[in-house]
Amino acid sequence: MSGHTRVSQVRRGAPASLALLAAFFAAWQWGPSLFGIPSFIVPPLTMVAREFVHAWQFDHLLFHTGVTVAEVLVGFALGSLFGAFVGYLLGMSPTAEFVLSPYLLALQIAPKVAFAPLFILWMGFTVYPKILVAVLIVFFPVMVNVLTAIRGVDPDLINLARSFKATRAQIFWLIEFPTSMPPMFAGLRIGSTLAVVGVVVGELVGGNTGLGYLLTFGEGQANTPMVFVSIVMLTLVGGVAYLGVILVERRVLHYLPARSANRGL
């Protein structure tokens, strides 16, 4: 897709997207009163905005957001690296995959929420339990995508490289690594949002900082607007993380043809 076509698609889609956003804000502002929903159940947009200003000034909203962002970044980075490494090793060794697959599957099936209290018992009320939960959640989509990509490498291409006396490192960097990049970025897209989920789970279970803590604090005070502020901020953090992965993907995989607008992001 040419740059001109992409720009024209953005120009056509931007007004519709902004109109939908305006309609959502309008429904949020006047919908609860129109349907007789009390403000302590669904507060209108203006009430949430006032609570946002109050939390920014008095409840250290910026600090708690920064803590959550830092935990998400560390958990996402570690989980992605670990997942890509294990996925590559399993892809290169069918025997290792056969031996480790039952245990990895059991770890994947086990609910990650159940690990948060265990990590807190081991490490106390620190940032490490939140990061570990995020690592666990991010690990699997990246590992599975890299494993699938490595298994899908054309063996004839590798044999051709070996016939030209290519070293193992050259085969990795010139064939296996580029082949695994698109599937890996697909896993990173999923992992970028799941990292937020993992961190919030840890903060909800046992945290005294972060947006998950603010959410629990607002719930304890029956302060619904604060809960909505926390949810909105968590959504923004996840959205920015997802957008960051997309921008890096477009920079790294610039040689691939762009997707058409009807296929979405």
pLDDT given at position 263: 46
Instruction: Say which residue the tokens 């889609």 belong to.
Output: 13
Token couple for 56? 């920014």
Token couple for 20? 């939908």
Q: How many helices (H) and strands (E) does the chain have?
A: 11, 0
Written as tens digits, the pLDDT of the chain (265 aa) is 445 555 565 566 678 888 888 898 888 889 888 888 888 888 999 999 999 999 998 888 999 999 999 999 999 999 999 999 999 988 888 888 888 888 888 888 888 778 888 888 888 888 888 999 999 999 999 999 998 888 888 888 888 888 888 888 888 888 888 888 888 899 999 999 999 999 998 888 877 888 999 999 888 888 899 999 999 999 999 999 999 999 999 888 876 655 443 444 5
Cβ atoms within 10 Å of 43's Cβ, excluding its own: 23
| CA proximity to 138, closest of 93, 182, 211, 73 | 73
- pTM, two decimals, is 0.84
Token couple for 139? 């690990």
Radius of gyration of the chain, Cα coordinates, nearest whole angstrom:
23
Contact present, 265 and 246 (Cβ < 8 Å): yes
Contact present, 132 and 209 (Cβ < 8 Å): no
Task: Return d(Cα 231, Cα 223) in angstroms, integer.
Answer: 13
Cβ atoms within 10 Å of 96's Cβ, excluding its own: 13
How would DSSP label each residue in 173-188? IIIIHHHHHHHHHHHH
Task: Return d(Cα 110, Cα 256) in angstroms, integer.
Answer: 37
Using DSSP's 3-state secondary structure scheme, residue 5 falls into: helix
Token couple for 166? 């290519």
pLDDT given at position 262: 42
Instruction: Say which residue the tokens 């302590």 belong to.
Output: 40
Give all strands (DSSP E) within 92-217, no chain letters.
none
Strand (E) or helix (H) holding 218? helix 211-220
